[in-house]
Amino acid sequence: MTLRIIFMGTPEFSVPTLRALKEAGHEIVAVYSQPPRPGGRRGLDLQKSPVHQAAELLGIPVFIPLNFKDEADREQFRLLNADVAVVVAYGLLLPEAILNGTRLGCYNGHASLLPRWRGAAPIQRAIMAGDKKTGMMIMKMEKGLDTGPIAVAREVAIGENTTAGELHDQLMLVGGRAMVEAMEKLEARDLPLTPQPEEGVLYASKIDKSETRIDFARAASDVHNHIRGLSPFPGAWFEVEINGRSERVKVLTSELAEAEGEAGTVLDDSLTIACGSASVRLVRLQKAGGKPLASADFLRGTPLPAGTRLG
C-alpha cells in the first residue's frame, strides 16, 4: 500500500523531497507551489518555481493558488482525496481548512533543531549565531508557526567554515530521506509524535537587506559567521574606494585569523582584515556585476594594499 500525497513546496530545497517520495513509490496526486515570479536577466520573464518545474518533469499536476482564502481552492484541495500533505518550504502559512484537508494531516520538513530557529531563515540564522549543529525535523503541522510535534529528527554538524549554501545543499538531501522514513512509519501506523520543548524557542526572521553590510568592528568570529551565514545569497558586503569611487564588494568565504589592528583595515597582501578583536581573511569575493574570484585573482585586478580601509 502507498500513500496518496499532496506535495507543497517552492524552492530548490524542496525538490529532493518530492523526488524521494516519488521514488519510494508513493502516489503524488498533486503539487502545490508558489505562482511563477518575474525572473530572467531583466526580470521580464515569468519563471516557474523549481518545484513546479520538477513536478512537470515527473508528470504531476501543479496548482498555484495565491493563497487559500478562496473557498474554491480549499474545495479543490479536499477533492484530491489525499491521505497526507507534505510541506517543504512552500512559502505560505496554511489555514486550518488545509491543515485538516487530508485524512492524516500535514507534515512539514523544517531545517533546524526545533524549537530553535522556527521561521523563515533557519539555515542562515544558525550559522550567523555560530551554532555548531543543526538538522532536519519532520513535524506534524498545527496552526502555530513551526510549533507542531516532532516525528523524525536528523542532526547535522556545522563546520567552522561551512557556508549557508553548503549547509542548504546538505540539509535538503537529509530532509528527503527523513521525510521518506516518516511517511513509511505513518503508512505503517507507527509514527511517534513528540511535543516540542517549551524552552529554547528562537525565531529565524527573514534576512533583511539592512543587515547584510559587514561590521568589522565586531569580533572576528561574529564577522566570519555573518559572512558565511549570508553566502552565497544575499551576500555580506563592504564598501571600498576603487579608482576614486566607492564600490560594493561581496565576501563569499572567509577564514579566521589572529592578527590585530584597527577594525576594517587591510593588514597584509592576503586580504587579512582587522576586526574588533582578531581578524578575518577574505578568501572569495565578488564585485558588483563581476564573477566570484579567489582573493589572489581579485587582488590582481583590484589592488587593496595594507592600510586600505574597508567600510
Task: Please state which of the ranges 13-27, 39-53, 173-187, 257-271 shows the lowest mean pLDDT.
Answer: 39-53
Element (H, E) at 39: strand 37-39
Stretch 196-208: mean pLDDT: 97
User: Confidence class of residue 41 from pLDDT cuts 50, 70 and 90?
Assistant: low
At 278 the pLDDT is 98
Cα 105 from Cα 117, distance rounded (Å):
23
User: Confidence class of residue 311 from pLDDT cuts 50, 70 and 90?
Assistant: confident
User: Confidence class of residue 38 from pLDDT cuts 50, 70 and 90?
Assistant: confident
User: Confidence class of residue 42 from pLDDT cuts 50, 70 and 90?
Assistant: low
At 94 the pLDDT is 96
Assess contact for 10 and 34: CB atoms under 8 A: yes
Of the candidate CATH numbers 3.40.50.300, 3.90.940.20, 3.30.30.10, 3.10.25.10, the domain formed by 209-301 belongs to 3.10.25.10
Assess contact for 230 and 254: CB atoms under 8 A: no
Write out the three cell numbers for 95. 489555514
Stretch 184-206: mean pLDDT: 97
At 111 the pLDDT is 98
**For the chain, the helix, strand and coil percentages under 3-state DSSP, each to the nearest 5:** 25, 30, 45
Assess contact for 108 and 136: CB atoms under 8 A: no
Summarised one tens digit per residue, pLDDT across range 133-192 is: 999 999 999 999 999 999 999 999 999 999 999 999 999 999 999 999 999 999 999 999
At 9 the pLDDT is 98
Asked if the 4-203 domain carries CATH number 3.40.50.170, the reply is: yes
Alpha helices in 5-91 (DSSP H): 15-23, 50-57, 71-79
User: Confidence class of residue 45 from pLDDT cuts 50, 70 and 90?
Assistant: confident
Grid coordinates 511535543 are at which residue? 195
At 275 the pLDDT is 98
At 43 the pLDDT is 64
**Residues of the binding site:** 112-115
CA distances to 79, 141, 147 from 288, in Å: 49, 41, 40
User: Confidence class of residue 244 from pLDDT cuts 50, 70 and 90?
Assistant: confident
User: Confidence class of residue 1 from pLDDT cuts 50, 70 and 90?
Assistant: low
pLDDT at 310 over 70: yes
Supply the mean pLDDT for the chain. 96
Element (H, E) at 286: strand 279-287
What does the domain layout of the chain look like in residue ranges?
4-203, 209-301
Stretch 191-198: mean pLDDT: 97
Summarised one tens digit per residue, pLDDT across range 76-123 is: 999 999 999 999 999 999 999 999 999 999 999 999 999 999 999 999
**Residues of the binding site for (6S)-5,6,7,8-tetrahydrofolate:** 112-115
